[in-house]
Amino acid sequence: MHTKDASLSHFFNPRSVMIIGASTDPTKLGYGLARNLVHSGYPGQIYFVNPKGGTLLGQPVYADVTQVPGPVDLAVLLLPAHLTPQILRVCGEQGVHAAIIAAGGFRETGPQGAALEKECLQIAREYDMRLLGPNCIGLLDTHLPLDTTFLSPPPPPPGDVAFISHSGAICAALVDWARGQGIGISRLVSLGNQVDVNETDVLAPIAADPHTRVLNLYLEGISDGRRFVEQARRVTGQKPVIALKVGRFASRRRAAASHTGALAGQESAFNAAFYRAGVIRAETTEEMFDWARALAWCPLPQGRSVAVLTNSGGPGVTAADALEAQGLHLANLQEDTQQALRAFLPPVASVRNPVDMVASASPEQYAQSLRHLLADPGVHSALVILVAPPMFASGAVAKALIPIIQTADKPVILAVMGHMMIQEAVAHLRAVNVPEYRFPEKAASALAVLSRRAEFLARAKETPVVQDDVDDARVRALLAQAGPGFLPQAVSDHILAAYGIPPVPTALANDAQAAARLAHEMGFPVALKVASPDIPHKSDVGGVLLNVESTEAVVQGFETVMANALQAQPQAEIQGVYVQRMILSGQEVIIGAVQDPQFGALAMFGSGGVEVEGIKDVAFALAPLTDKEATHMLASTWAGRKLDGYRNLPPADRTAVTEALSRLAQLAADFPQIAEVEINPLRVLPAGEGAFAIDVRMRVDKMEE
């Protein structure tokens, strides 16, 4: 039986290909498949099989698989679904190494089709044969060349962008679109139902292709989340991977009792997984290919400072806005650079960034200006805007810029604005793989993705922080003694303490007098919180009182909290009231973790309080965390940025927050049976004074064996 990591070389470099279901009828898909394979220029041996026999495209058609005279590496089956298993078995008996099942009629049609699909997989495993599909259009390699698809000609031009897709129809549309955009394809793989070969399997072999510089993925899901992240991280260390993950608004609503669990939807998990793996997530299909051009053809920048060169003021301002929106910024040009520009640009030109050469700018002025901008050490990349000049041909400007762009070690992206008047410029730029876009916004987006790629490579070698002072044996013992469901506050506090997260002193009172005694021992003010495994959101039922400042108020508060809880949920198990010392100063945030069925433990950070689900100022990352991932989570939320101080809020202890977040993430990663854990709020004291877990919810799904 093959393993999931078995070589897929028989798909990508077959010595011979057999088409079963080849047709002499030009209206049939079997004819289109045979035509594409022959016309692709495939250098290996080709065999056609059809019970009718005859000849096709100058080659014999064999009536049966057993009549094929030579060994076959790759078979393409274009047959009715009910006939596929028996023919697949014959292929196995004949020593075929790999098969593409192109036809539909399998799992996508219902239980009967799913049974046929399962039978195909069993046969393939019996004969150590790999399967692509079913219900797919196959694969192509423009450089081998090899075309096992039935797409309408002409094929895509050879290029350096690979495309892996769960959808065959998307493949067909994009091949035609990419051709019109001047984007060449290296390899294309349609995965179909993925009965065997899936999106993770093909990552490494496609990345190993020397002609492929960028991998584009169209994903409707992921077969094995953890394996995908592991494999994709290896690949993205060498070549960029862009993913368009669709179906985001059809994601399930998780049944969760914590804010963390409710907010950790499928898309949060995918975003966290892509970030960890270095996969760049695109929002649209067009954006995916826009980015692919830039990543395939441009060097990476050393920072986020951009010089804008334009012959029109309005587009220059548009570009500046777009860059800021993408998290980039205009470079501050050195005085030497500005003086050099003044020497040859007209007096009315602006030599501050954006550099506006005005409408009279010549091809030579474009080229000379770009040369000076790229030489400025404060410039990390350049965005050149070309509005068709009134006195010069746009093509002449492009030809003047190309030598400078090709020899630069900084990325240059062009916004060539217009349509009819710019076609010559577009043709020149595409001929030499210089990325060009119609508007500054798309050019700015392309520059931003180059920065994201550079920043990923800078952090790619960082490994998750593992705290060596945790008492995992203590946690294991505590969990073994507890049953499934929400853990008592005291148990949760002990677990946090074992992982170095300090809880606020808390004790359980069974009656009002005990509460008063505990409050006196802790010191006023205190908080009173109902203790019930059936009431996870205590404040929703009036089960929380804060700033209780006297013994009398504690006694009265105990009765109030108990009465409110029983009135709201008469059937709830009420264990008493927690008495907790109040920590009055500091900022409040939420940290949490939840187990995702696809990717494992997810850590969360954001704005806490009762409105956390409404505000949704949260960030997620796969656990355990690296230092940079924890820092990124804080930087991407208002709650995290506010820790540096805001208006009357003094700076809070950011270091204590990142440490608590990392420790909680490690706890969730170490103990998958902790289904949900949340600290809301984590009270963050002024810088250097630490952070404390005020309220903890921890739910256990299953115990360790």
pLDDT digits (tens, 9 = 90+) for 433-461: 999 999 999 999 999 999 999 999 999 88
Phi, psi of 311 (to 5 degrees): -110, 15
Please report which confidence band the pLDDT of residue 482 belongs to, taking 50, 70 and 90 as the band edges.
confident
Rounded CA separation 423/310 (Å) = 18
Rg for the chain (alpha carbons), in Å?
Answer: 31
Q: What per-residue confidence (pLDDT) applies to 175?
A: 83
HSE of 669, CA atoms in CB hemisphere, 13 A: 22
The segment with the largest mean pLDDT, out of 9-18, 385-394, 460-469, is 9-18
Element (H, E) at 308: strand 305-310
Amino acid at 81: A
Contact 411, 447 (CB under 8 A): yes
Rounded CA separation 477/520 (Å) = 32
SS3 content of the chain, % helix, strand, coil (to 5): 40, 20, 35
Task: Give the architecture-level CATH label for domain 505-581.
Answer: 2-Layer Sandwich (3.30)
Out of 501-505, 526-530, 564-568, 700-704, which region has the weakest mean confidence (pLDDT)?
700-704
pLDDT of 704 higher than 80 = no
Q: Which residues pair with 596 in a beta bridge?
A: 600
Contact 8, 197 (CB under 8 A): yes
Nearest to 400 by CA among 375, 430, 368, 431: 368
pLDDT of 251 higher than 60 = no
Out of 410-414, 639-643, 694-698, which region has the weakest mean confidence (pLDDT)?
694-698
* Widest distance between CA atoms in the chain: 101
Q: What per-residue confidence (pLDDT) applies to 3?
A: 43
Please report which confidence band the pLDDT of residue 264 belongs to, taking 50, 70 and 90 as the band edges.
low
pLDDT digits (tens, 9 = 90+) for 339-359: 999 999 999 999 999 999 999
Exposure string over 120-142, b if 16+ CB within 10 A, otherwise e: beebbeebebbbbbbbbbbbbbb
Contact 628, 636 (CB under 8 A): no
pLDDT of 613 higher than 80 = no
Contact 423, 393 (CB under 8 A): no
Q: What per-residue confidence (pLDDT) applies to 1?
A: 37
Angle of helix 394-407 relative to helix 423-431, nearest 10 degrees? 20
* The two structure tokens encoding residue 405: 């762009």
Phi, psi of 130 (to 5 degrees): -90, 145
Q: Average pLDDT of 261-287?
A: 87
pLDDT digits (tens, 9 = 90+) for 527-560: 999 999 888 788 889 999 999 999 999 999 999 9
pLDDT of 696 higher than 80 = yes
Neighbouring residues of 518: CB distance < 8 A, sequence distance ≥ 6: 507, 509, 526, 579
Rounded CA separation 327/130 (Å) = 44
Query: Which class for 402: exposed (0-12), middle (13-18), buried (19 or more C-beta within 10 A)?
Result: middle
Q: What is the mean pLDDT of the chain?
A: 93
Q: Average pLDDT of 575-587?
A: 89
Which ranges of 388-459 would DSSP assign to H, the alpha helix?
A: 394-407, 423-431, 440-459
Q: Average pLDDT of 19-26?
A: 97
Exposure string over 426-440, b if 16+ CB within 10 A, otherwise e: bebbbeebbbbbebb
Query: Which class for 390: exposed (0-12), middle (13-18), buried (19 or more C-beta within 10 A)?
Result: exposed
pTM score of the predicted model: 0.90
Tell me if 9-246 shares its fold with 505-581: no
- Return the CATH superfamily for domain 587-700: ATP-grasp fold, B domain (3.30.470.20)
* The two structure tokens encoding residue 683: 């009270």
Q: What per-residue confidence (pLDDT) applies to 257?
A: 53
Rounded CA separation 423/428 (Å) = 9
Angle of helix 472-481 relative to helix 654-670, nearest 10 degrees? 60
pLDDT of 611 higher than 70 = no
pLDDT of 52 higher than 90 = yes
Domains of the chain, by residue range, sit at 9-246, 299-459, 505-581, 587-700
CB atoms within 10 A of CB 543: 26
Phi, psi of 307 (to 5 degrees): -100, 135
pLDDT digits (tens, 9 = 90+) for 199-239: 999 999 999 999 999 999 999 989 899 999 999 999 999 99
Q: What per-residue confidence (pLDDT) applies to 249?
A: 65
HSE of 15, CA atoms in CB hemisphere, 13 A: 6
* The two structure tokens encoding residue 406: 């090709």
- Return the CATH superfamily for domain 299-459: Succinyl-CoA synthetase domains (3.40.50.261)
Nearest to 495 by CA among 350, 663, 377, 620: 663
Q: Average pLDDT of 10-37?
A: 97
pLDDT digits (tens, 9 = 90+) for 583-610: 878 899 999 999 999 999 999 999 987 6
Report the sign of the C-alpha dihedral through residues 188, 190, 194, 196, in that order.
Answer: negative
Q: Average pLDDT of 664-679?
A: 96
Rounded CA separation 285/63 (Å) = 42
Element (H, E) at 165: strand 158-165
Contact 415, 446 (CB under 8 A): no
Q: What per-residue confidence (pLDDT) applies to 263?
A: 64
pLDDT of 6 higher than 80 = no
Strands of 556-617, DSSP E: 576-581, 587-596, 600-607
Rounded CA separation 17/4 (Å) = 23
Distances (CA, A) of 284 to 181, 199, 232, 288, 297: 16, 19, 21, 6, 20
Q: Average pLDDT of 186-205?
A: 96
pLDDT of 625 higher than 70 = yes
pLDDT of 384 higher than 90 = yes
Q: Average pLDDT of 157-184?
A: 88
- The share of the chain scoring above pLDDT 90, in percent, equals 82
Using alpha carbons only, what angle is made at residue 675 by residues 672 and 677, rounded to the nearest 5 degrees? 105
Rounded CA separation 652/291 (Å) = 38
pLDDT of 2 higher than 80 = no
Hey, what CATH class is 9-246 in? alpha beta
pLDDT of 703 higher than 80 = no
Q: Average pLDDT of 463-470?
A: 89
pLDDT of 248 higher than 80 = no
Three-class SS state of 226: helix
Q: Average pLDDT of 136-164?
A: 94
Q: What per-residue confidence (pLDDT) applies to 463?
A: 87
Distances (CA, A) of 51 to 48, 182, 437, 567: 10, 42, 51, 78
